[in-house]
Structure 1
Amino acid sequence: MLRFANAYLLWALLLVPLLIIIFIIIRRWKKKALAAFGDKAVISRIMPDVSFSRPTLKFIFFIVAYTLLIIGLAGPQVGTHIDEVKKKGADLMILLDVSNSMLSQDFAPNRLENAKSALAQLINNLHDDRIGIIVFAGEAYVQMPVTTDYSAAKLFLNTINTGIVPVQGTAIGAAIDMGMKSFDFKDGTSKAMILMTDGENHEDDAVAAAKNAHEKGVAIHVIGFGSPQGAPIPIYDNGKQAGFHTDSVGHTVISKLNEDMCKEIALAGNGVYIRATNANSGLGIVMDQVHKMQQKTYDSKSFKDYEDRFQFFLVIALLLLVIEFFISSRKSLRLSRLKLFEVKKP
């Protein structure tokens, strides 16, 4: 398979036919101009050092070198193909709470950044498991479908913040339902969800959603972020903290970890509940539970890297340009003196 890293440069090859046409026109014009002076044989005797064929040879070298140079600069790459491989693992859907309460700073720098840091470490330790990400606040959105592309997972993870979901709140049940819709149950792989939240559910029946997921063979593991004592929810203006959220009477809102809710969801989902700390996110324990599930084989496509081949084109192009440079437009005096086919008179 062949591809070009800078395919847009190939448009420069459109100049090749144009240059050939211009060269032909100029050659014909020169021939007509010389013909106006007299017979070609006479002109050849008047200008014995002028070569009429070498300019054509020089142009051929130049046009071939130009073509190879453009192809080389376009970055030809070859050798890539797709191998069908068999992998054995589980499907993991991460449900990440991005409500404003996750900005509380009882975990430095805040709950959300701790959760993202833990997820980054999880992704680094994955091998054959597939992972997807759903973010939720008042609504739930699929941030990344289930995939084995861990590099893409890290990129998606870096873009997550509390502003990614326009509607605030904490709809854990909606996130679980969306996770169920995102799974492909036809492939037969084991499936689990990892819910990362402070447990402040105000929108729906998360326990019922977890129970429904368990009935369909999906385990719900919960990691709680926050402290029972809680912390105020900061307000940011242009990236700077501008105070804290207050209630209708002006009191500062304290967001606390709702462990009871987290435990109920984990119990209904046949999973485990872990309370994260600054020293331990609890993902290690959760992944131990995931690895205990029956690992089934699924098909996956493995892409080999493309190999650059521009070097060959550039080397040949430069070599031709050097040769073209040293080809003189005049005849060689030494060669002209060699009359190999002249018959000497006795």
Structure 2
Amino acid sequence: MYELEEKGYFYLLIIIPILVLVFLYVQVWKKKKQKEFGDLSLLQKLSPEKSVFKPVLKISVLLLAIIFLIIALVNPKMGTKIETVKRQGIDIVFAIDVSKSMLAEDVAPNRLEKSKQLVSQLINQMGSDKIGIIAYSGSAFPVVPMTSDYSVSKMFLQSMNPTMISSQGTMIDEAINLASEKYFVKKEKTSKVLVIISDGEDHSDEAIAASEDAKSSGIKIVTIGVGTEKGGTIPLKSLGQNGEFQKDQEGNVVVTKRSQEILEKIAKSSGGIYIDGNNTKQVTESIKKLLDKTQKSEFESSQMADFKSQFQWFLGFAFFLLFIDLFFLERKTKWVKKMNLFNEEK
């Protein structure tokens, strides 16, 4: 088995025909100039040691060296071992509230950044689980589909902000329904966990019903509440409005508080748990205990080869050819001349 890591470098092979054409042009040009200078047979007698074959040999060695260098850049890999890999894990979806209330700074640095920190910490302790990420406020938006690529997931996680969804408000049921319909495959008998991170300000009455429907589909919901009971104002500096705070229709500054009760009800109705998100250690430990107790399912079985790079061989051959090319002079080689292999002696 083999694979080519950087196939794009094969485009450099266009250099080969270009060099061949240049070489042929130079040879024709030399012949033409020699005819203008004098008789060719006389010129050959004046330079009896000049080889006709050596220039062809030098350009051939050079072209072969370039080909080996290009192959080295492509980095061919050979498979030395094949093994069957069975992965077991849980399907986990993180639904993160990105409404404006999540900009409140009653927890540092603010509720949204705290939520992203929590999810990042949870991803770091994942094993072979598949994860997905949803952003929601007045509607739900898929950010990362189900994947095992944690580095890409964390990259998209950091880019989440309230401006990514135009409709404001907090509709937790939208996030639950999106996870149930688009993220979790109902036919698969995998363990499914939906982690909702929010301040609990739900503007819909459908969240409890949605969580009960999720439970019937085998989805366990964990809710994590961020923010304080005392609450805080919503600074809009991250939205480009420095010194401004969110105000209601009457012009009063809005104070947003964490609504723990609704989050507890959502978790309880689905057979899950509620966790205080202000304590990072408590969140990570509680989620770890929950996942340890949750049955893991085999969701992927594939054959993988242990590929090893082979570029060094081609690089070595290329340098070797370039090295010996230095010793190829355009005059005839004495021992080859005696053998007259290339009909150089007439």
| TM-score bin (small chain) | 0.7 to 0.9
Moved more, 283-292 or 177-186: 283-292
Q: What is the match of residue 17 of structure 1?
A: 17
Relative distance call for 1:295 and 1:69 in structure 2 (3 A) is closer
1:327 aligns with 2:328: yes
Output aligned runs, 1:126-137, within 5 Å.
Answer: 126-137=126-137
Distance 1:109 1:117 in 2: 10
Normalized against structure 2, the TM-score is what? 0.86
Task: Tell me if the contact between 1:135 and 1:143 (Cα under 8 Å) persists in the aligned partners.
Answer: yes
1:150 aligns with 2:132: no
Distance 1:27 1:115 in 2: 71
Q: What is the match of residue 263 of structure 2?
A: 262
Moved more, 184-193 or 322-331: 322-331
Relative distance call for 1:301 and 1:204 in structure 2 (3 A) is farther
1:220 aligns with 2:221: yes
Q: What is the match of residue 194 of structure 1?
A: 195
Distance 2:102 2:306 in 1: 40
Find the residue that maps to 1:143 and give its secondary structure. strand
Moved more, 284-293 or 120-129: 284-293
Task: Tell me if the contact between 1:115 and 1:225 (Cα under 8 Å) persists in the aligned partners.
Answer: yes
Distance 1:67 1:229 in 2: 70
Task: Tell me if the contact between 1:90 and 1:191 (Cα under 8 Å) persists in the aligned partners.
Answer: yes
Distance 1:340 1:318 in 2: 29
Distance 1:10 1:167 in 2: 48
Distance 1:227 1:337 in 2: 92
Q: What is the match of residue 344 of structure 2?
A: none
Distance 1:228 1:238 in 2: 25
Relative distance call for 1:248 and 1:239 in structure 2 (3 A) is closer
Q: What is the match of residue 167 of structure 1?
A: 167
Task: Tell me if the contact between 1:169 and 1:203 (Cα under 8 Å) persists in the aligned partners.
Answer: no
Find the residue that maps to 2:236 and give its secondary structure. strand
Relative distance call for 1:279 and 1:290 in structure 2 (3 A) is closer
Find the residue that maps to 1:260 and give its secondary structure. helix
Distance 1:273 1:337 in 2: 88
Q: What is the match of residue 139 of structure 1?
A: 139
Distance 1:143 1:9 in 2: 33
Q: What is the match of residue 209 of structure 2?
A: 208
Relative distance call for 1:11 and 1:118 in structure 2 (3 A) is same
Give the residue type in structure 2 aligned to 1:77. P
Distance 1:212 1:292 in 2: 22
Structure 2 segments unaligned to the other structure (5+ residues): 341-346
Give the residue type in structure 2 aligned to 1:274. I
1:2 Cα offset (Å): 2.4
Q: What is the match of residue 235 of structure 1?
A: 236
Q: What is the match of residue 75 of structure 2?
A: 76
Distance 1:58 1:90 in 2: 62
Find the residue that maps to 1:297 and give its secondary structure. strand
Find the residue that maps to 1:242 and give its secondary structure. coil
Q: What is the match of residue 295 of structure 1?
A: 296
Relative distance call for 1:172 and 1:14 in structure 2 (3 A) is same
Task: Tell me if the contact between 2:84 and 2:304 (Cα under 8 Å) persists in the aligned partners.
Answer: no
Q: How many residues align?
A: 336
Task: Tell me if the contact between 2:208 and 2:265 (Cα under 8 Å) persists in the aligned partners.
Answer: yes
Q: What do the CA deviations read for 1:213-245 (whole angstroms, capped 9, x no partner)?
A: 112221111111111110111111676742211
Moved more, 224-233 or 86-95: 86-95
Distance 2:197 2:85 in 1: 32
Q: What do the CA deviations read for 1:34-66 (whole angstroms, capped 9, x no partner)?
A: 6785574x5543322322221121111112122
Identical aligned pairs, as a percentage? 33
Distance 2:253 2:222 in 1: 31
Distance 2:273 2:339 in 1: 97
Relative distance call for 1:338 and 1:86 in structure 2 (3 A) is closer
Task: Tell me if the contact between 1:272 and 1:286 (Cα under 8 Å) persists in the aligned partners.
Answer: no
Relative distance call for 1:240 and 1:126 in structure 2 (3 A) is same
Task: Tell me if the contact between 2:10 and 2:74 (Cα under 8 Å) persists in the aligned partners.
Answer: no
Distance 1:24 1:229 in 2: 85
Relative distance call for 1:51 and 1:201 in structure 2 (3 A) is same
Moved more, 8-17 or 221-230: 8-17
Task: Tell me if the contact between 1:75 and 1:309 (Cα under 8 Å) persists in the aligned partners.
Answer: no
Q: What is the match of residue 104 of structure 2?
A: 104
Find the residue that maps to 1:79 and give its secondary structure. strand
Q: What is the match of residue 285 of structure 2?
A: 284
Distance 1:142 1:234 in 2: 26
1:298 Cα offset (Å): 2.1
Moved more, 238-247 or 169-178: 238-247
Distance 1:337 1:71 in 2: 32
Give the residue type in structure 1 aligned to 2:221. I
Q: What is the match of residue 50 of structure 1?
A: 50
Give the residue type in structure 1 aligned to 2:290. Q
Distance 1:188 1:141 in 2: 25
Distance 1:337 1:91 in 2: 72
Find the residue that maps to 1:192 and give its secondary structure. strand
1:253 Cα offset (Å): 0.4
Relative distance call for 1:141 and 1:321 in structure 2 (3 A) is same
